[in-house]
Amino acid sequence: MDPRLLPPIPTPPAQRWREVRLLYLPRAMFVAAIVLVAWMWGDAVAPATLVAEAEISGADSRATQAGVVAGLKVALHQKVRAGEVLGHIAAANPRLLDATLAVIRADVAMLGATMAGATDRQRVVLELARMQLDWMGQRVERAALQGRLQQTEADLARTAPLHRAGLVTDEAYTQLKITRDSLVAQQDETNRMIARLEPILSGQNAPSATAAELSGESALAAAIKVQEAKLRLAEEQLSPVPLVSPIDGVVSLVLRREGEAVVAGEAVLRVTATKPARLTGYVRQPLAFDPKPGMTAEIRTRSTPAKVAVTTITQVGAALETISPSVLAAMRLPPTPAPETALRVEFALPVSLGLRPGEHVDVVVR
């Protein structure tokens, strides 16, 4: 047998695969890993020039006068429109109003008592005045009822969840409802009485000046007018002041609950816009570059998967400002970083990213 004439024996596929597996696969894997890292590097590793925040535009709905929060119609995260009534402020302390009404009631009664001993002619005029006083008396009653009803409604609203939780007995809760229904019924009845008297009184003429001078009706009419003005003031104070949403958005914070007392100017609700107003970032010191309006910047979201968009700088701050705590936290600095000042830069908001208010993004300024 001459070995020179013998060809190499064939290598079976399993043996070829073994060669590939042991010799080439580790190298292929190494190259593939390099390619993978290079591919992901731009998205996950490339350092950002700065961190920016989609700034929130928000506004508070405040009480325009002191009172008690009543009839809040919105809940947290509920969408509202600018000008929408979100609730009411029951104007004043019902006890104070009760006292005011009691004074008016006493004054009206005193005026009624002074009408005794008049002549027939005077009697006709005085009857008219008495009817006016009755009418006012009914309005005082209605105002008092309205105050009590508001108080009872607020109590009922506060008690309902406690009753559901079993912290208030059925008896107490039912009693409160009966009181409320009773007040509503009384108020309806008083409204009917006032409505019946009003057209009669509006059809009558005021007594003539001469007769008034002779009988002293002028003083009586003036006193009635004073009481009527006082009554109108009390009625105005009793009517609830609406809480209005200042902007379109969602209710992001409920600072005062129903039944809580507020002072004039106190915020009751915070409304936050659903879309951010601008994108703000800070160039930290030492300033690595001089940002100028019009410079191009790449915005990269931190969501999964990350979205990328190109935008421009719209404004650059004049002075170095303290970095906002939320942006400072988003910079992933070591724990408890010290506050620092930086140059504030605003970017045009890329619509394609669909950023939420408060969202943080990484920015690479080209």
Partner 1 sequence: MNALLQGDHASAPTSFQALIIALTLAYLFGQLIAWVYVFTHSGVSYSRSFVVSLIVLPVLVALVLIVMANNLITAFGLIAVFAVVRFRNVLRDTLDTCYVLAVIILGTACGTQKFSSAIVGALAVSGLFVFLWMTASGTRHRFDLILNLRWTRPASELGAVTKLLTRHSLRVHIANQNFGKGTEAANLSYRVLLRDPARAAELLSELAELPGVDRVASVQAADESEI
What residues make contact with partner 1 under the rule CB under 8 A? 1, 3-4, 6-12, 15, 19, 21-22, 25-26, 29-30, 33-34, 36-37, 40-41, 43-45, 304, 306, 332, 335
Q: Of the two residues 44 and 206, which places its CB atom closer to partner 1 in the complex? A: 44
Minimum distance of partner 1 from residue 9's CB (angstroms): 5
Minimum distance of partner 1 from residue 311's CB (angstroms): 22
Q: What are φ and ψ of residue 158, in 5° steps?
A: -75, -35
**Helix, coil or strand: residue 293:** coil
E strand or H helix at 249, and its extent? strand 249-254
Minimum distance of partner 1 from residue 21's CB (angstroms): 6
Question: Would the CA dihedral through 207, 210, 211, 214 be positive or negative?
Answer: positive
Q: Of the two residues 30 and 233, which places its CB atom closer to partner 1 in the complex? A: 30
In whole angstroms, how far apart are CA 275 and each of 151, 297, 300, 357?
Answer: 39, 21, 18, 6
Q: Of the two residues 27 and 77, which places its CB atom closer to partner 1 in the complex? A: 27
Minimum distance of partner 1 from residue 29's CB (angstroms): 7
Minimum distance of partner 1 from residue 172's CB (angstroms): 44
Exposed/middle/buried for residue 189 (C-beta within 10 Å: 0-12, 13-18, 19+): middle
Q: Of the two residues 26 and 337, which places its CB atom closer to partner 1 in the complex? A: 26
Q: Of the two residues 24 and 172, which places its CB atom closer to partner 1 in the complex? A: 24
C-alpha 21, offset from chain centre = 66
Q: Taking each helix axis from N to C terminus, what angle separates 170-203 and 120-164, rounded to the nearest 10 degrees? A: 150
C-alpha closest to that of 292 among 315, 320, 319? 315
Minimum distance of partner 1 from residue 181's CB (angstroms): 51
Half-sphere exposure at residue 19, Cβ-oriented, CA atoms within 13 angstroms: 6
Question: Would the CA dihedral through 150, 151, 156, 158 be positive or negative?
Answer: positive
Beta bridge partners of 365: 297
Measured between alpha carbons, how far is 165 from 71 in angstroms, rounded to an integer? 21
Q: Of the two residues 18 and 164, which places its CB atom closer to partner 1 in the complex? A: 18
Which amino acid makes up residue 115?
Answer: M
C-alpha 78, offset from chain centre = 9
Minimum distance of partner 1 from residue 298's CB (angstroms): 17
Q: Of the two residues 34 and 229, which places its CB atom closer to partner 1 in the complex? A: 34
8 A C-beta contact, residue 342 and residue 291 = no
Q: Of the two residues 40 and 253, which places its CB atom closer to partner 1 in the complex? A: 40
Minimum distance of partner 1 from residue 12's CB (angstroms): 5
